[in-house]
Amino acid sequence: MAMTERAVPGAGSWVNRLAGSRRFQAFAARVPGLRRLVRAEGAAIFDIMQGFVRSQVLMALVDLRLMHRLAEGPARVTALAAFAGVPEARMMVLVQAGAALGLIRRRGDLYGLSRRGAAFLAVPGLEEMVRHHRVLYGDLAEPAAFFRGETDPELARFWPYVFGGAGDRDVAARYSRLMAESQALVAEDTLAQVSLSGITHLLDVGGGTGAFLRAVRARAPGLRLGLFDLPEVVAQAALPADVARLGGSFREGVPATGADAISLVRVLYDHADETVAGLLASVHAALPAGGRLILSEPMSGGARPDPQTDVYFSVYTLAMQTGRARTAAEISALLRAAGFVSIRKCRSFRPFVASVITAQAG
């Protein structure tokens, strides 16, 4: 079929030429077998376009605590409007949008919490992370300038520790609160992918408030544990008294504590390649021969781009102005360069929460 003047310029394959032809799209919309495909593709494109509105609807539901209110029982729009201090007509728009997103369930004129909404409330730290996204939304207000590198993202100042910043207790407290809320699920998924068998002493590097170590203690109460992070962060960690607290910066080296295993949970993707290479070399030096490394974080899909990690985490780290979502192959190459062997990528249940690589010190 001939291309029309409205076809996608430069489309390579015959499939793209057809998809980019308005004449073919009009034809396909009339054919029962093709109509469904055209509609699905159109809906997917529209979902991409309206994504920013979806995120702001979610923010409003979180800020107004409407899902918490509906968890107590169904309610009419009038009651929800009074609860949130929102005009009734505007509340109708919001709850309808929430229902369309599957977070709220509508039955007649009553609105209740859906299964998805209940699951959202059950995820530790998810609401705090949504509120935190105000910073990222602002950084992406001018997206073309952002991707050109012409903006000054506020997110880079929100996480100054990635640049080696230290000493600010308020910054440490903000970091600690967000990590304490969000890391429990990461720890759960990480431990579902690895075995702690044979480990006697685990040092968690960059472990923040100790969420991963608390999960390890629940799983293997006999392990000797240690936490290594910035002094002002370690001071706020909620950990049992027998867990060693070591304050310092891994840029100056990971301490050799006698640990036969070291964990790095959501650490590498915060940092540039040269910083990561130095950290992995330091971890290798701190482990005995055969010592184990547990590395957990979201990873890029590489040749098969992932809709979560290659969108959310890649853009997030770009706004931080350091680090990136790496592929498992890139991380494995960095591990080999640092002297690690027996490198293995584990099967992940939720890659957007935690993908895990294990390795041994050669």
Q: What is the pLDDT of residues 61-82, one digit of tens each?
A: 999 999 999 999 999 999 999 9
Q: pLDDT at residue 172 above 60?
A: no
Structural domain ending residue among the three candidates 80, 103, 122: 122
Range with the lowest mean pLDDT among 151-165, 225-239, 284-298? 151-165
| Pair (106, 152) in one structural domain | no
Residue 3 within any structural domain of the chain = no
| Pair (36, 95) in one structural domain | no
Average pLDDT over residues 258-262: 96
Q: Strand pairing of 292-297 and 224-229?
A: unpaired
| Pair (234, 257) in one structural domain | yes
| Pair (159, 92) in one structural domain | no
| Pair (306, 351) in one structural domain | yes
Q: For residues 283 and 203, what is the distance between their CA atoms, to the nearest angstrom?
A: 10
The predicted structure's pLDDT at residue 161: 59
| Pair (140, 87) in one structural domain | no
Q: pLDDT at residue 28 above 70?
A: no
The predicted structure's pLDDT at residue 156: 83
Containing structural domain, residue 118: 51-122
Q: pLDDT band at residue 2, thresholds of 50, 70 and 90?
A: very low
| Pair (223, 307) in one structural domain | yes
Residue 1 within any structural domain of the chain = no
| Pair (42, 73) in one structural domain | no
For residue 29, the Cα-to-chain-centroid distance in whole angstroms is 38
Question: What does the DSSP assignment read for 131-197?
Answer: HHHHHHHHHTSSHHHHHHT-S--THHHH-GGGGT----HHHHHHHHHHHHHHHHHHHHHHHHH---T
Residue 143 within any structural domain of the chain = yes
Q: What is the pLDDT of residues 204-219, one digit of tens each?
A: 999 888 989 999 999 9
Residue 100 within any structural domain of the chain = yes
Q: For residues 287 and 358, what is the distance between their CA atoms, to the nearest angstrom?
A: 14
Structural domain ending residue among the three candidates 89, 122, 155: 122
Q: pLDDT band at residue 84, thresholds of 50, 70 and 90?
A: very high
Q: What is the pLDDT of residues 187-199, one digit of tens each?
A: 999 999 999 999 9
| Pair (174, 252) in one structural domain | yes
| Pair (108, 157) in one structural domain | no
84-99 CB burial, b ≥16 within 10 A, e <16: bebeeeebbebbebbb
The predicted structure's pLDDT at residue 326: 96
Residue 2 within any structural domain of the chain = no
Q: Where are the alpha helices (DSSP H) in the chain?
A: 14-19, 22-28, 32-49, 51-63, 66-71, 77-84, 88-100, 115-122, 126-139, 143-148, 155-158, 169-193, 211-219, 231-234, 273-286, 314-320, 328-338
| Pair (55, 40) in one structural domain | no
CATH code of residue 272: 3.40.50.150
Residue 8 within any structural domain of the chain = no
| Pair (192, 90) in one structural domain | no
Q: What is the pLDDT of residues 277-320, one digit of tens each?
A: 999 999 999 999 999 999 999 999 999 999 989 999 999 999 98
Average pLDDT of the chain is 88
The predicted structure's pLDDT at residue 4: 41
Range with the lowest mean pLDDT among 16-30, 163-177, 257-271? 163-177
Residue 285 within any structural domain of the chain = yes
Residue 4 within any structural domain of the chain = no
Number of domains in the chain: 3
Question: Which residue would you say has higher pLDDT here, 237 or 21?
Answer: 237
Q: What is the pLDDT of residues 94-142, one digit of tens each?
A: 999 999 999 999 999 999 999 999 999 998 788 988 998 999 999 999 9
Q: Yes or no: say if 245 and 194 are a contact pair by the CB < 8 Å rule.
A: no
Which 8-state DSSP code applies to residue 118?
H
Both ends of the chain: CA-CA distance in Å?
60
Closest to 73 (Cα-Cα) out of 104, 108, 116: 104
Structural domain ending residue among the three candidates 103, 122, 141: 122
